[in-house]
Structure 1
């Protein structure tokens, strides 16, 4: 009978997984970790844990762990919108920079069983003006079993479910109840076993890649490991190169080395072309959206707003996803107290709010917190052009500020530019998936524009998010409405579909 690991052994196991693989598991996953530890510890957990802690790389036991702790299911042409952005925008853009005809260099980080890199190899063959000669694809993963499957390149009908009959016939041949990828495509991809949580000079050489796909990998990493991994990817990408993450992953709170791109109904990133001034100081943002502390539910009684305003003043920088300046001193100013300005905002005294902001010392003029509060105040007072200017100044410092995208959307909506507003709201919701107000506005606009199915889905999601929305963010972005009123609005919008909650 296998001995169950103790709680202390499970906690040490979690720490070692974070240290050696970069994988993060919260308290809800302790049961899963206990089962995996019991399986791999084979009745002697202390000895197994010591081996994990002290054995040098490469360590086969770590790679087997990675297989048991992560989801490896994938398929061809997954998130097809990103594949379209890759073939129609990223690839042609990078290909044009290779004047000597050398191939575009692509890295698939966390390639699992090979469907993703092989999809890219097929996609360039299908695209007009590209072809097999245009790419050099390197695919890496920590799981040797998945790499063996990728090398065999034999796939089930389930893995090919997004491919039509004609495409299957072009690139696969029947092999019993499986489909084997044609050799010409297989030769386009080189597979290697690598641990993405480690510094690896050979893998992450400066300027080594034009495009990096790292989809559904960062979601498993600890905040520190995710930040380190993104920094390595940024250094390994040429300026102007592209980074594709999973559809639920963002760089908010991890890096400001990238521009946010939105086309083909999907989001992705482009490496900044740094100016000399920008290179002087590019510090990572230590804040991470996943690590935001939980606040108690908001009560609508006025007596609670004093506490909320105090908390908002302390935490407004987190809501703005503020980052250090791209040039000059990377140290944020200290002693900034926005409580009185926030109190005026809550009381809809917008002129007084702006007066409070304008009376701040000059060194605070371009502080991200101040710019965001100024943009909110201006938008609420109807000074839309000035509000947009404040947002653009903030986005020049941090393109991944969900708050700035949200206020820009408010301005566009107020001006009647609904399509542009929807684009900005979607950017805010992508950058911060828990942003209830952004999701609510998306649903309202989609219903107005006749996108019924999407509106129903987004309003239902907004209703759930509103129950737990941060009180400080409601104060900042809620337009003076309490949580109960926003929930009632969302319920009324859903009732229009006959789906009142």
Structure 2
């Protein structure tokens, strides 16, 4: 019989999980944490918590907790777009860089092995590589999952994305399960490791050419995630690749990578050296165009959440003291509230005039430059607006606002594929960016991608109802929230509503 833990014990449990496993749970997850604590604590939650605090790391108690607190369900060829990018972009580049040596791959948080085995199969299927051309190290904190991975026997449900011909090549029927071929099994080495901890051997500098760390950072606290990414960055060889989960980005975590987009998915490439400038912009056509994909390296120093804080930053600039070299007759600081108001009223010349009056130290601020780019794009000065956005991206490759304004300009010029690429970059970098999601849905409808359009417009409708007013002011084109919501609903109605 288990005893229901007190609120204080649940809070202590949450702190211990964060400290020992790096897993962070917000207030909405306290009920689930209480149930897990009651199940493990039994009749004496206080004694269990004391034992947990004193346990060495790693320990069986911590591993059992990891099983209950993380999602371990996975399958072969999960997020197939990333597997294609791995096989068709990352592997060829790394093979060339390695000059005949095996490509070194890490699958971090490998669960029951489907991911690393998929990578081994994909290398053979796409590249025709022998067993010695790729070395895959797979690590996880969960010993039960690692035991399943080592056995390499899987249900038909785990193979649901593997076509029959591929299944016949790499698996043999074993009762109700499918046994993976020995050749693929030998390509992968499994180890028990805690990704939330320092580990000098696991993260030795330059150890890997490609790292998959999907759906791991989402469980970490910001501090733990930043530390984990720093270790990963150190361990990836210059020019190597990092694949995260679809809901994960490096915003606010690292400036060591370029953002890439091919095969309708995002991933990262390690910079060759600190401060390396962004590569030339390339665009990969969306899947429906049927054209071959080329790497799109979107510019990338440290992430700054320009959109969410733009109004606050501009606010502070508007009341900042003038610089000392103005002398005794320094003019009053220009009113950027007025500039924003002019932008909202479509008085673009007035908005630009106010921005031009700023002293140089403020005129070069990223948020002011973004405001200027928006004003220029809305006034029809598309080339000037794009030049400012490219300059912003050269300083901050993960600037969602600059991608959004570039998308507006490219759409205005009739280049819908390029516009869609930038809108998707903005939405990936800032998942709450409602206007980017709205434009994606509208363009998808225009390009006859109707199911995708319904999905993105439905998501935009939810996001618009909670969008920050400052973002609507800056990027809404003068339209109030209600008008944008009506537009979104009209688009959905024309598609027959969400499905």
Partner Cα distance (2:276, 2:123) in 1? 37
Contact 1:153 1:181 in 2 (8 A): yes
CA distance in 1 between counterparts of 2:271 and 2:170 reads: 36
Task: Output the TM-score relative to the length of structure 2.
Answer: 0.88
Mapped to 1, the partners of 2:166 and 2:276 lie a distance apart of 49
Provide Cα deviations, 1:85-107, integer angstroms capped at 9, x if missing partner.
111110000000112x2111100
What is the deviation of 1:361?
2.7
- The alignment partner of 2:268 has SS state of strand
Q: Which runs of 5+ in 1 are unaligned?
A: 294-308, 317-334
Q: 1:276 to 1:372 in 2, by over 3 A?
A: closer
Partner of 2:122: 123
Q: How do residues 257-276 of structure 1 correspond to structure 2 at under 5 angstroms? A: 257-274=256-273
1:288-331 C-alpha deviation (Å, 9 max, x unpaired):
99xx89xxxxxxxxxxxxxxx96574599xxxxxxxxxxxxxxx
1:336 & 1:213 partners in 2: Cα distance? 49
Tell me which residue corresponds to 1:20: 20
Q: Are residues 276 and 32 of structure 1, via their aligned partners in 2, closer, same or farther at CA, if it must alter by over 3 Å?
A: closer
Partner of 1:65: 65
What corresponds to 2:230 in structure 1? 231
Q: Alignment partner of 2:127: what SS? A: coil
Tell me, in whole angstroms, the C-alpha distance in 2 between the residues paired with 1:499 and 1:448: 16
TM-fit CA distance, 1:455:
1.4
The range that moved more, 110-119 or 357-366, is 357-366
User: Which residue is 2:151 aligned to?
Assistant: 152
What is the deviation of 1:112?
Answer: 0.2
Kept in 2: contact 1:208–1:238 (CA 8 A):
yes
Which residue number corresponds to residue 214 of structure 1? Answer: 213
Rounded Cα–Cα distance in structure 2 between residues aligned with 1:227 and 1:286:
14
What residue number does 1:483 align with? 481
- 1:358 is displaced (CA, Å) by 2.6
Partners of 2:64 and 2:106 lie apart in 1 by 23
| d(CA) in 2 for partners of 1:310, 1:453 | 35
Q: Deviations over 1:149-169 (max 9, x none)?
A: 101111000001111121111
Q: Against the structure 1 CA distance between its residues 393 and 488, is the aligned structure 2 distance closer, same or farther, given a 3 Å change threshold?
A: same
Query: Against the structure 1 CA distance between its residues 148 and 131, is the aligned structure 2 distance closer, same or farther, given a 3 Å change threshold?
Result: same
Mapped to 1, the partners of 2:316 and 2:170 lie a distance apart of: 53
| Partner in structure 2 of residue 300 of structure 1 | none
SS state of the match for residue 406, structure 1?
helix
Supply the distance in 1 between the matched residues of 2:392 and 2:311 (Cα, whole angstroms): 23
Q: 1:172-214, CA deviations, whole angstroms, 9 ceiling, x for partnerless residues?
A: 1111111111111111101111111111111111111100000
Instruction: Provide the rounded CA distance (Å) in 1 between the counterparts of 2:155 and 2:484.
Output: 47
Contact 1:372 1:403 in 2 (8 A): yes
Higher mean C-alpha deviation, range 264-273 or range 46-55: 46-55
Q: C-alpha displacement at 1:257, in angstroms?
A: 1.5
Matched with 1:493 is 491
Distance verdict in 2 for CA 1:454–1:283, change over 3 Å? closer
Could you tell me how far apart the structure 1 residues matched to 2:438 and 2:464 are? 9
Residue in structure 1 matched with residue 386 of structure 2 by the alignment: 388
How far did residue 444 of structure 1 move?
0.9
Confirm or deny: 8 A CA contact 2:314 2:367 kept in the other structure.
Answer: no
The structural deviation recorded for 1:474 is 0.6
CA contact (8 A) 2:251 2:304 kept: no
Alpha carbons 1:216, 1:246 under 8 Å: kept = yes
Other-structure match for 1:297: none
| Cα drift, residue 338 of structure 1 | 4.4
Map residues 285-364 of structure 1 onto 2, 5 A cutoff.
311=312, 313=314, 338-364=336-362
- Superposed, which structure 2 residues align to 1:416-431 within 5 Å? 416-431=414-429
The CA distance in 2 between the partners of 1:276 and 1:427, in whole Å, is 22
| Structure 2 SS opposite 1:127 | helix
Q: Distance in 2 between matches of 1:472 and 1:348?
A: 16
Q: Distance in 2 between matches of 1:217 and 1:129?
A: 30
Which secondary structure state, in structure 2, belongs to the residue aligned with residue 198 of structure 1?
Answer: coil
